[in-house]
Amino acid sequence: MTTEVLELLCNSMKLERDRGVGELQRVLPTTQETVDTDIEVRVRLAAGEVVGVLCNKLGVVVYQESKEYVLRLIQSNLERQIADDDDGSKYEQIETERLMEKLAGPSQRRNSAEATQIFHDTAGWKNLETSLKCLQAMIEGSGADFQPFVEDELLELIFTTLTHTNRFVRETGYYVCSSLVGCGNMEQDAEGRDSISVVNPIYTYGHEFSKHLATGLADNWSQVRLAASVAARRFLTSLPDDRAREVFYPELLPRMCLN
């Protein structure tokens, strides 16, 4: 089915290409659920990028159709447990143990407990990190049209990732925040409505964003601080004038200077 859709999309006749777009929209939900949980991280990342491009080309309807699945995937992986029947987790842990054996000298081999600890401390948490990147791609692709979907449930989920034990998850969470505040930094949405309005997430949730950004700017890990710095810069530049920015300076400016 995937090959047939690609052939239609690449056909020289417009009528066939239009058919291909229709077929793609029909098979997308099922295909996305398969590739977003693929054992190979590069496949999951590529799948997220494709969905982001589709949001850009076809509109926010792609997010509406995928929203429930992607958010459920993020939620279900927030607390990672390596189950015996989880082939993806076992595969990642085996690869980590092999890497540690190569890094250790011949007289000092890492035991399984050490490898497991390193696995938890450094590896991305199953599909969580890549699912967040998929969400970020959809936000970026949808642009200002994503604003109505910035709601309490979504923000609660994202803000939870900002305090996660895994630093890669926290880092990705701050990049998602950067995309969220950025979707309000556009003069007009696709329907010509002024994006600087009450639906702008920066105005509605500005103080919550500021609080979490300040926490990220003081994180122990430099990669997390960098992601929080990017988000803080985008947050402040998304505000319309200096007067609006000054409200958040006491919380953000000292930590931004230190970074």
pLDDT tens per residue across span 166-190: 899 999 999 999 999 988 665 544 4
Higher pLDDT, 84 or 212: 212
pLDDT value for 54: 86
8 A C-beta contact, residue 220 and residue 196: no
pTM: 0.75
Tell me the per-residue pLDDT of 87-110, one tens digit each, with 9 for 90 and over. 555 555 566 566 656 666 555 555
CA torsion sign for 101, 103, 108, 112 is: negative
113 pLDDT higher than 80: no
52 pLDDT higher than 70: yes
Name the token pair of 169.
């998850």
Q: What residues form DSSP beta bridges with 112? A: none
8 A C-beta contact, residue 43 and residue 137: no
pLDDT category, 40, cuts 50, 70, 90? confident
**Separation of alpha carbons 185 and 162, rounded Å:** 22
pLDDT value for 35: 53
Mean pLDDT of 140-154: 92
Alpha helices in the chain (DSSP H): 2-9, 14-35, 41-58, 61-76, 87-103, 112-122, 128-142, 152-161, 167-182, 201-217, 222-237, 242-246, 249-258
- CA dihedral 138→185→229→57, nearest 10 degrees, is 20
pLDDT value for 170: 95
pLDDT value for 195: 44
Domain-wise residue ranges, the chain: 81-124
Helix (H, G, I), strand (E, B) or coil at 229: helix
